[in-house]
Amino acid sequence: MRFNTFVYLKSLYPFKVKILKMENALTFIADHHVAFVFGILVFFGLMEALFGYLSDSRRNKDDVFVEVISTFFLLFITKPIVFFLSFEGTKLLFPTGEGVWTGLPFWAGLIIFLLVDDFLQYWYHRSSHEYKWLWKHHRPHHTATEMGLLVSYRESIYFFMMMPNIWWLGIFTYFGGGIPVAVGLVLKQIVIISSHSLARWDVFFYKRPFLKPVIQILERIFITPAFHHGHHAVSKIDAVGNPNGNFGNMFSIWDQMFGSATFTHAFPAEYGIPNDPQDPWQAHIFYPVVTSEKPGSELSKDFIFEKTTKTEPAILTLKEGDYLYCTCGYSRSQPFCDGSHHGTKFQPIRFSIKKEREYKLCRCKMCKKGPFCDDSHLKIENGKV
């Protein structure tokens, strides 16, 4: 498909020469945006290899298959098909609308495209952590026990088909925003791939106090590696991880706006999901057509998602340390969190024990004091609830 050019730019004087050059550059990027995206992947791949990040990789065979196959599906099958369907679908709905936004200034088009794209992706991503059926398609992204550029694209094949911002590409292009779409995709991939990569460019800023103001401004706009790595943590037990937040993809503004942002300037101790049953790559990519046979797996046919709350509190001797208290009521390790809250709107409460002794911990999930029993369960026993 040929992208529209910006005739309006040519009429501007005295910046004509400069603008025409910029127009050529933009058209070049648009025409070769796929090559640019591959270039970004190769660049970060080389960085990871050159700095030895891959030499002690924890990836197993299933991880490699999930990453390579899901990346292949996205780039060569899902995205082209969704783009075609959304472009042609918009044409059917708005037959006279093709190219009507061609006269929009490039920067305006780029900003509109990226903001709508990223807003849609923020809510789709957040929903995939809050609804179980969608979580199962996003789960492969979080079973990676180490970061890396190809983690960016590890999802079930259906996850990308339903992704609203991919549909937005075809819609915006149909209305004449082809060049902003192509340039925006390149810019967005730089942020997304770098935030998943093992090449943590932001560490350079954290280590130099005089550069801290720069990163503090940057991270309030764009997603940094530390911000996104926190989202991939196994849990928030280390006070760095934020697996139930930091959902942004290109911009961090949505997380700040909707209360899901945590900035720590640190990287989690552990990546992945708690109690990972190590499902085969086929189940990760093709669930529910292919299911897992691993006992207790969310991707297995006989997986049961049921409440495990109890009326009586648990009386336990706790040692000094940090704990995660289950608030969702689905944990199989009550009263502690075992990660079962993934795919719900709940998240655990982190609490610290300073003195070893016996504690009464809530299992009815009605207590107002977080993990500690306040006898709210008596209301259940007395039939008042």
Q: Which ranges of the chain would DSSP assign to H, the alpha helix?
A: 7-10, 16-31, 33-50, 61-72, 79-93, 106-130, 132-142, 157-161, 164-174, 178-196, 203-206, 212-218, 225-231, 253-257, 281-286, 377-381
- Residues with Cβ within 8 Å of 271's Cβ and at least 6 positions away in sequence, in order, are 144, 145, 146, 147, 229, 232, 233, 234
- Using the rule CB under 6 A, is 346 a contact of ligand FES? yes
* Binding of ligand FES by 189 (CB under 6 A): no
Task: Provide, rounded to whole angstroms, the least separation between the CB of residue 187 and ligand FES.
Answer: 36
Under the binding rule (CB under 6 A), the answer on residue 147 touching ligand FES is: no
Those residues with Cβ within 8 angstroms of residue 31's Cβ, 6 or more apart along the chain or in another chain? 3, 182
Beta bridge partners, 372, equal: 361
Does 348 interact with ligand FES (rule: CB under 6 A)? yes
| Shortest distance in whole angstroms from residue 348 CB to ligand FES | 4
List the one residue out of 290, 292, 267, 289 whose CA is nearest residue 278: 292
Identity of the residue, 230 or 348, whose beta carbon is nearer to ligand FES in the bound complex = 348
Q: Does 276 bind ligand FES (CB under 6 A)?
A: no
Where does residue 200 fall: left (phi above 0), alpha (psi -120 to 50 degrees), or beta otherwise?
Answer: beta
Q: Which stretch binds ligand FES (CB under 6 A): 190-198, 202-210, 290-298, 328-336?
A: 328-336
Q: Of 185 and 324, which CB lies nearer to ligand FES in the complex structure?
A: 324
Q: How far is the CB of 340 from ligand FES (least distance, A)?
A: 4
Nearer to ligand FES, 109 or 371 (CB): 371
Instruction: Report if residue 241 touches ligand FES, rule: CB under 6 A.
Output: no
Nearer to ligand FES, 180 or 335 (CB): 335
The residue among 176 and 243 lying less far from ligand FES, judged by its C-beta, is: 243
**Least separation in angstroms between CB 132 and ligand FES:** 13
| Residue of 63, 175, 331, 335 that binds ligand FES (CB under 6 A) | 331
Q: Which is nearer to ligand FES, 107 or 133 (CB)?
A: 133
CB of 334 to ligand FES, least distance (A): 8
Q: How many beta carbons lie within 10 A of that of residue 58, not counting itself?
A: 10
Range 307-326, binding ligand FES (CB under 6 A): 326
CA dihedral sign of residues 199, 200, 205, 206: negative
The encoded tokens of residue 306 equal: 């049921």
Tokens at residue 94, please?
A: 């708005």
Q: Is 287 in the site for ligand FES (CB under 6 A)?
A: no
Choose, by CB under 6 A, the member of 90, 143, 291, 340 that binds ligand FES: 340
Are the CB atoms for 155 and 70 separated by under 8 Å? yes
By CB under 6 A, residue 341 contacts ligand FES: yes
Judge residue 270's burial from the number of C-beta atoms within 10 Å of its C-beta, 0-12 exposed, 13-18 middle, 19 or more buried: middle
Residue 337 binds to ligand FES (criterion: CB under 6 A): yes
CA–CA dist 356, 374 (Å, integer): 20
Q: Which is nearer to ligand FES, 102 or 327 (CB)?
A: 327
205 binds ligand FES (CB under 6 A): no
Which residue number, 286 or 303, has a Cβ lying nearer to ligand FES?
A: 303
Closest by CA to 228, choosing from 242, 215, 218, is: 242
Minimum gap (Å) between residue 341 Cβ and ligand FES: 4
Nearer to ligand FES, 168 or 323 (CB): 323
Maximum pairwise Cα distance, the chain:
82
Residue 327 interacting with ligand FES (CB under 6 A): yes
Residue 227 binds ligand FES, judged by CB under 6 A: no
φ, ψ of residue 204 in degrees (nearest 5): -55, -40
Site of interaction with ligand FES (CB under 6 A): 326-328, 330-331, 337-341, 346, 348
